[in-house]
Amino acid sequence: MARTITPKGFPAPLGMYSHGMVAAGGELVLVAGQVGIGPQGVAGPDVGSQTRQAFENVRAIVEAAGCTMADVVRLQTFLVSADDIPGFMKARQDAFPEYFPTGVYPPNTLLVVSRLVRPELRVEVEAMAVRRPSRPPARKRPAIAKRARAQRRK
């Protein structure tokens, strides 16, 4: 589990994110920017619906990599208009308690850009997660080494 970082003297974050995070070693899972396009290939009509779908897409990829949303250690979000910030924040506020039930949120950078790859898209979310390493199988000792140890005991 990742641990949040708040340097001494820093104010609380301005929203549902952490200033920083320390994650235990493991494999990085990098999620390309996900937009609000669902399985039918159609984008939602507004930033709220697109935000919810983008986070569902992130979750699907993270879970396909063997992680949960609790393993996400960084988010980066792109909006096409500052006017979309309230709708984006509302959608996050509604979704994050399910994704992050402990209330520990990954750091998030929010950028307003001139446009995304298609004109109907309002939001894009990138993510980074850390997959905990699985224990490697125990190494089998060669039979020669076993015989040598047995002879030393004699």
DSSP letters for 32-55: EEEESB-TTS-B-SSHHHHHHHHH
User: Domain 3-153 sits in which CATH superfamily?
Assistant: RutC-like (3.30.1330.40)
Domain positions in the chain are 3-153
State pLDDT tens for residues 47-81: 999 999 999 999 999 999 999 999 999 999 999 99
Distance from C-alpha of 20 to C-alpha of 143, rounded to nearest angstrom: 50
Mean pLDDT of 85-90: 98
At 135, phi and psi to the nearest 5? Answer: -70, 130
pTM greater than the 0.75 cutoff: yes
